[in-house]
Structure 1
Amino acid sequence: MAITTTTHLNFRGQAREALSYYRSVFGGEVSLFTYEQAQRAKSPAENELITWGQVLSDAGFHVMAYDVQPERDWSPGTIPFFVSVRGQDAAEIQGYWDKLVEGSTVVEPIGPAGWSPLYGMVKDRFGVTWVLDVEVAYAG
């Protein structure tokens, strides 16, 4: 039996925009399900909010997101998590980086690191901190 873990991001009214943006960076397909479709909207203002959404690419990128309802407490916090994107192809990682940094704040510029020939950290316009690096096989 195998399991997978998927980063699930919580937003306040920005899930649709964020998932569209992440699809533009990593490719794949966006799936969205609104509160209205789920018959969970408590007011007309909630109808188009996302109760479940994801981006899933053939390359293996997968992220999920939803909009926290207005009556629930929500705060993006201060770096409560990182989304790690790791691959074996430096050109692929660099390509993701080049798209992700547009309109974002670079925390660590992409470049060589002690554990990877290519590593960088960026906080995107939605407040999500991403780390991208090239995976290296280690002799153990």
Structure 2
Amino acid sequence: MTIKLNPYLNFEGNTKEAVYFYEKALGGKLLGIMRFGDMPEDPNHPMSEDMKDLIMHAQLKVGDADLMFSDTFPGMPHQAGGDTVQIAIHPSEEARAREIFAALEDGGQVIMPLQKTDWSPLYGIVKDKFGVTFQVNVPQEQSQ
């Protein structure tokens, strides 16, 4: 049996901005965006025009991994940020790790600057402007 896991990030009204930010910062490829307004209207649950423009589902391919995104539907609880889950990125080249880290750092906060560690020639932690924490880690055996 094969199991594939991927992060699914929820935002409160700014998913579209986040998707395009991660597409650029991580060098991803946008596979699709579906808005709540793309779904057939339900007369029992009418949506405002603002709600129709919110992102119901978006998918970004980053290397072999998928990142998925959604806005929370208005009225649903949402807690921004938090460190319960972090996303680890493992670029094989130090130059690419520096590019990714710098892009995520823009408007965010460095938790641990990029540096050599016992397990990596280059490792750092950054919380981006959306409150998502990333660990950037160049694998020791693949460093260049």
Q: TM-score, normalised by structure 1?
A: 0.87
Q: Which position in structure 1 is the counterpart of 2:35?
A: 34
Matched residue, 1:7: 7
SS at 1:36's partner residue? helix
Is the counterpart of residue 67 in structure 1 residue 71 in structure 2? yes
Secondary structure of the residue aligned to 2:37 is coil
1:45-64 pair list within 5 angstroms: 45-57=50-62, 59-64=63-68
Counterpart-to-counterpart distance in 1, 2:52 and 2:99: 35
Task: Spell out structure 1 runs of 4+ moving beyond 4 A.
Answer: none
Amino acid at match of 2:40: Q
Which of 28, 41, 48 is matched with 1:43 structurally?
48
Distance apart, 1:115 and its partner CA: 1.6
Match of 2:19 in 1: 19
Q: Aligned-residue CA RMSD in angstroms?
A: 1.7
* Partner SS, residue 121 of structure 2: strand
* SS of structure 2 residue aligned to 1:127: coil
Distance in 1, Cα, partners of 2:14 & 2:109: 18
TM value normalised by structure 2? 0.85
Q: Indicate the percent of aligned positions where both proteins have the same amino acid.
A: 28
Q: Find the counterpart in structure 1 of residue 97 from structure 2.
A: 93
Higher normalized strand content (fraction of residues):
1
Alignment partner of 2:119 out of 106, 115, 124:
115
Gaps of 5+ in 1: none
For 1:77-105, what per-residue CA distance to the aligned partner results, in whole angstroms no more than 9, with x for missing partners? 53121011013222221221122211111
Are residue 126 (structure 1) and residue 130 (structure 2) matched?
yes
Partners of 1:130 and 1:32 in 2: how far apart?
Answer: 23
Residues 85, 133 of structure 1: 8 Å contact kept: yes
> Whose helix fraction is larger, Structure 1's or Structure 2's?
2
The number of equivalent residue pairs is 136
> Structure 2: which amino acid aligns with 1:45?
D
